[in-house]
Amino acid sequence: MTGRFRSHRRSRAAVVLATFGTVLLAGLLAWAALLVIPACGIDFGPLGRLDACPHPDAISAELVAEVENQAHLRDRVNSLQRRLATLPDCPLPDTQGLDADRWQEGDISLLEGCWSLASDYSFQHVDTGEITDVASWEMCFDGHGRGNQDLVFSDGATCSEPVAAVFLENGRLRIDDQGDVACSDSTFIFRRTITCHLEPGGEAACQSRQPERGDTVSDVRIVRRTSP
């Protein structure tokens, strides 16, 4: 007798036994693998061992070297901190307050003396685009608003040019370069017109314009010194 479908049934006990045998076999294989393949390599018994991890001695040497390096860095930092603590504080500019009434009245003799840069100030080279900071800038006036200026860039270049100052009707001060400011590195600063107003702290807040450069504007602050 034939049929289209045939099936074979096994007893429940046989199925359980087969499953248990499979699990047992898998466990034995895993245990054997742990014996043969430790965490860092394969042990071939009498044939030797193939290590996949660094030797413990090598790891210890690296740790010792790292600890020593960190100790050296800590000592270096501590040494620099001790040295920094012994350095003198940078002296603050010796400045002198200004008479606001005389400023508003346009008393040009108020300018007599030397004025120093009290803010960041920089220039951009028109050909290369390089920006150079001003390290110092000083203008010294007589009692009639005439004077000279000396400017030093951070790269060591120095520039000099006469200046003249006059008070405007609105209580503002105008300082004019008497020409392009020639510098020691064969460059020059385009002539500037600098307009300033007096602030409560005694500093003059100014805007520097360069007419030949389309009235390019730079903000800058100056302050009068009490000593040369």
Domain boundary among 86, 115, 136: 86
At 7 the pLDDT is 31
pLDDT at 151: 96
Cα-flanking dihedrals φ and ψ of residue 203, to 5°?
A: -85, 155
Domain around 171: 100-224
* % of the chain surpassing 70 pLDDT: 68
Same domain, 67 and 45: yes
pLDDT grade for 64, boundaries at 50, 70 and 90: confident
> Residue 129 contacts by C-beta under 8 Å, 6 or more apart in sequence?
none
Are residue 36 and residue 136 in the same domain, yes or no? no
- Give dist(CA 71, CA 88) in Å, integer: 28
Q: Are residues 59 and 113 in the same domain?
A: no
- Written as one letter, the residue type at 86 is T
Residue 138 shares a structural domain with residue 44: no
For 123-172, the pLDDT digits (tens) are 999 999 999 999 999 999 999 999 999 999 999 999 999 999 999 988 89
The pLDDT score that the predictor gives to residue 82 is 75
Structurally, the chain folds into a number of domains equal to 2
Task: Identify the residue with better confidence: 110 or 20.
Answer: 110
Query: Are 110 and 217 contained in the same domain?
Result: yes
Q: What is the pLDDT of residue 32?
A: 56
Task: Say which residues have a Cβ less than 8 Å from residue 112's Cβ, sequence separation at least 6.
Answer: 141, 142, 143
Structure tokens at 42: 């394969």
pLDDT digits (tens, 9 = 90+) for 175-228: 999 999 999 999 999 999 999 999 988 899 999 999 998 878 899 999 998 654
Average pLDDT, the chain: 79
Q: What is the pLDDT of residue 67?
A: 85
pTM: 0.57
Q: Which of 119, 101, 144, 152 is nearest to 222 (CA)?
A: 119
Instruction: Determine the distance from the C-alpha atom of residue 96 to the mean position of all C-alpha atoms in its chain, rounded to a whole number.
Output: 33
Q: For residue 84, what pLDDT is reported? A: 73
In a domain, 95, yes or no: no
Q: Which residues pair with 95 in a beta bridge?
A: 225
Work out the average pLDDT over 35-56. 58
